[in-house]
């Protein structure tokens, strides 16, 4: 539900005009318990209060203006506060300004990549942090950039182009991406791709981190570990100007009414002197039972070094929600993640969400 305010103070004083500002937001808080077990069998249990089990705490302000001739100008600023830790809010991806009309939609600001959007569509257990989610390697945002949504020439088909300029002399450099999404009836197919072109010679993370995978022992001195459930990251490596790192994602789903099935596949390949790769897949199903809905997803991610040495992490996550209303939900989440022949983790959470 969105609330609309009429901002009259500064704007009316300056121009005599009024602007309508729409305020919306989302709150997700949960009591979480995570148990991590090393390959040697030593276990650690951590309890915490946190958000992002289903979605990020957020508050946003958006405006729009009819410019005539079928053209609309719009803008949005979205903040992500951490309600639990009272940390300062950050500007969220999805903030920017743009115009839309028969020519399509053009926007400039902070954006989520089409790989990120596609990965979200493949998850039957809800999008967010939680044990068991090992799918979605490299599914990040492209940060500051520009996006263009083409006019819809075919019913159900959406085509998006995006570009993020490298804003430093060295590092990942420019990002170019694209996305295709097609929906008809209960069927959905989405594909996103992107590529970074390195600028200068510098040490960068070879492959982007994963989400909420169990810690993994180092493999051939290339895979490093994070404590606890953490994330699996590759070592840094020197890259030369012009080398490319690529990411892609595919999502398929079909809604039968009584149940909805999901499938997804992601790839990530570094462009450094020592190429490393990640691949992951997921499948799952969600079933509604009146006010209750249950979703379960199973995913697997494999990380390979240039020498083809690698590790595989398998995860399963379940999410059950009860809708008190269209805007307020209670949920229970449970997940497991295990490295083949290595560490493992289990986690659960009980929480509430509210949108406005």
Q: Which two tokens stand for residue 307?
A: 């020498």
For 217-269, the pLDDT digits (tens) are 433 333 333 333 334 454 555 566 777 778 899 999 999 999 999 999 998 88
Please give the C-alpha separations between residue 4 and each of 22, 71, 94, 326, in angstroms, as whole numbers.
Answer: 4, 21, 19, 18
The string of DSSP codes covering 195-259 is: EEEEESSEEEESS---SS------STTTEE--SSS---EEPEEEE-TT-EEEEEEEEEEEE-SS-
Q: What is the pLDDT of residue 243?
A: 74
For 1-21, the pLDDT digits (tens) are 455 554 444 444 444 455 678
For 137-155, the pLDDT digits (tens) are 656 656 778 899 999 989 9
Q: What is the pLDDT of residue 189?
A: 98
Q: What is the pLDDT of residue 8?
A: 41
Q: Does residue 94 register a pLDDT over 80?
A: no
Q: What is the pLDDT of residue 282?
A: 93
Q: What is the pLDDT of residue 110?
A: 84
Pairwise CA distance, residues 203 & 272, whole Å: 9
Q: Are 84 and 29 in contact (CB under 8 A)?
A: yes
Half-sphere exposure of 288 (CA within 13 A, CB side): 8
Q: What is the mean pLDDT of residues 164-190?
A: 86
**Higher-pLDDT residue of 209, 136:** 136
Structural domains present in the chain: 104-355 (2.40.160.10)
**pLDDT tier at 329 (50, 70, 90 boundaries)?**
very high
**Higher-pLDDT residue of 323, 49:** 323
Which positions ≥6 away from 144 have C-beta within 8 Å?
Answer: 109, 110, 111, 164, 165, 167
Q: Are 42 and 36 in contact (CB under 8 A)?
A: no
Mean pLDDT estimate for the chain: 79
The string of DSSP codes covering 29-49 is: EEEEEEEEE-TTS-EEEEEEE
Q: Are 211 and 345 in contact (CB under 8 A)?
A: no
For 186-231, the pLDDT digits (tens) are 999 999 998 887 776 655 554 444 433 444 443 333 333 333 333 4
C-beta neighbour count of 312 within 10 angstroms: 18
């Amino acid at each position: 539900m969105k609330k609309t305010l009429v901002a009259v103070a500064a704007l009316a004083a300056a121009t005599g005009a009024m602007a309508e500002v729409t305020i919306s937001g989302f709150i997700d808080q949960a009591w979480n318990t995570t148990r991590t077990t090393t390959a040697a069998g030593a276990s650690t249990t951590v309890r915490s209060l946190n958000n992002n089990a289903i979605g990020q705490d957020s508050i946003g302000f958006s405006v729009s203006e009819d410019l005539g001739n079928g053209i609309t100008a719009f803008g949005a600023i979205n903040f992500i506060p951490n309600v639990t830790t009272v940390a300062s809010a950050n500007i969220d991806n999805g903030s920017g300004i743009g115009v839309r009309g028969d020519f399509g939609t053009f926007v400039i600001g902070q954006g989520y990549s089409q790989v990120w959007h596609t990965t979200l569509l493949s998850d039957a257990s809800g999008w967010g942090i939680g044990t068991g989610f090992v799918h979605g390697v490299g599914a990040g945002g492209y940060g500051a950039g520009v996006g263009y949504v083409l006019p819809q020439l075919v019913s159900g088909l959406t085509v998006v182009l995006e570009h993020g300029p490298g804003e430093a002399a060295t590092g990942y450099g420019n990002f170019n991406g694209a996305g295709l999404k097609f929906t008809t009836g209960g069927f959905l197919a989405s594909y996103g791709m992107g590529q970074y072109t390195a600028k200068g010679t510098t040490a960068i993370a070879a492959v982007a981190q994963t989400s909420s995978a169990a810690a993994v022992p180092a493999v051939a001195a290339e895979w490093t570990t994070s404590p606890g459930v953490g994330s699996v990251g590759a070592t840094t490596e020197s890259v030369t100007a012009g080398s490319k790192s690529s990411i892609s994602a595919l999502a398929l789903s079909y809604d039968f009414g009584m149940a909805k099935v999901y499938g997804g596949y992601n790839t990530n390949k570094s462009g450094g002197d020592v190429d490393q790769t990640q691949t992951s897949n997921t499948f799952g199903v969600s079933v509604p039972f009146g006010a209750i809905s249950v979703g379960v997803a199973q995913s697997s991610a494999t990380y390979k070094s240039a020498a083809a040495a690698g590790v595989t992490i398998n995860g399963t996550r379940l999410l059950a929600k009860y809708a008190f209303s269209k805007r307020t939900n209670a949920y229970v989440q449970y997940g497991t993640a295990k490295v083949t022949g290595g560490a493992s983790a289990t986690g659960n959470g009980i929480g509430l969400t509210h949108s406005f």
